[in-house]
Amino acid sequence: MSRGLDHIVHAVRDLDAAAALYRRLGFLVGARNRHPWGTHNHIVQLPGTFIEVLTVAEPEKFGDDGFSRLFARFNQSFLQHQEGLSLLILESSDAGADAAAFAAAGIAASDKLTFEREGRRPDGTPVQVGFSLAFARDARSPSVGFATCQQHFPENFWNRAFQTHPNGATGVAGVVLVAENPTDHHIFVSAFTGERELLATSTGITVKTARGEIQVMAPDAFRSHFGVPPPDVAHGMRIAALRFAIRDTAAVEALLRDAGIAARQIMGRLVVGPAQAMGATLVFEPAA
């Protein structure tokens, strides 16, 4: 079964500064949320996909559960070395079935894990949100986390009022990973996404999912396409960039300039590099 993009974790050391950055980038940023295993986050929603801006705020709350081990401790370890995009999470209609499929493919990192928390509507009304996740592991990429996410109360989570951004972003067009040899990861990427057909080119491999593209590029190709340095791939594949679809490039360019955020134009895109975006490369491109 094909799995599209659900959300991407942007791990940072200073969550308040990261929320302020996303606001300066022209995004509507949700309230601060707290997880029982010690991580805190802000959510940036787009239609069908969201960015989870996250920090490890209360490590004393770590436990022996799967979320503490595969999510909180993983991000703590990640942040000891860098900030940036730490987990790629795809949508799921059945996290239990995904866990079984990952086990059959030899990439499982967990059984189905479930949690619920209280969320709030724009008017402050409390609502219940719940998720089940199935984690996967690419043995060649210990610095990246992978999972699928099944939402149990999607009507309480998704809200169009949270998806209308001053920068005019209409969605996440794709995510870009970097690896020394992209084809080394094609078996994992195929099993993780549920897509058998991967497009191989001179720059790497591309998967067109039900929601957004997943690209794996070589470091030199990434630098050529986006004009900024790729993350260090000495220890395997890394998540390097998010591609946002926008309505008006000139308007976003003016917004970034007024916010004092340096962006370069390359191949018709506006690129905010990792030095500006807390370890991530954020790409704004015309909606297809």
pLDDT for res 127: 80
pLDDT for res 126: 80
- DSSP assignment of 211-224 equals SSEEEEE-HHHHHH
Please report, in tens digits, the pLDDT of each residue of the chain (288 residues total). 689 999 999 999 999 999 999 999 999 999 999 999 999 999 999 999 999 999 999 999 999 999 999 999 999 999 999 999 999 999 999 999 999 999 999 999 999 999 987 777 667 778 888 999 999 999 999 999 999 999 999 988 898 999 999 999 999 999 999 999 999 999 999 999 999 888 888 889 999 998 999 999 999 999 999 999 999 999 999 999 999 999 999 999 999 999 999 999 999 999 999 999 999 999 999 998
Classified as helix, coil or strand, 117 is strand
Q: Tokens for 262? A: 């340096």
Q: What angle do CA 265, 201, 147 make, to 5 degrees?
A: 80
pLDDT for res 249: 96
Domains along the chain with CATH numbers = 5-162 (3.10.180.10), 169-286 (3.10.180.10)
pLDDT for res 201: 86
pLDDT for res 24: 98
Alpha helices, DSSP H, located in the chain? 15-24, 66-67, 73-81, 95-105, 154-157, 186-193, 219-226, 249-258
The model carries a pTM of: 0.95
What number of helices (H) and strands (E) belong to the chain?
Answer: 8, 16
Q: What CA–CA distance (Å, rounded) separates 173 from 245?
A: 6
Cβ proximity of 32 and 106 under 8 Å = no
Q: What CA–CA distance (Å, rounded) separates 111 from 101?
A: 11
Q: What CA–CA distance (Å, rounded) separates 240 from 236?
A: 12
Which of 6, 11, 4, 46 is closest to 29 using CA atoms? Answer: 46
122, exposed or middle or buried, with CB in 10 Å at 0-12, 13-18, 19+?
exposed
Q: CA separation (Å) from 35 to 53, 60, 145, 253, 286?
A: 13, 12, 18, 35, 35
pLDDT for res 79: 98
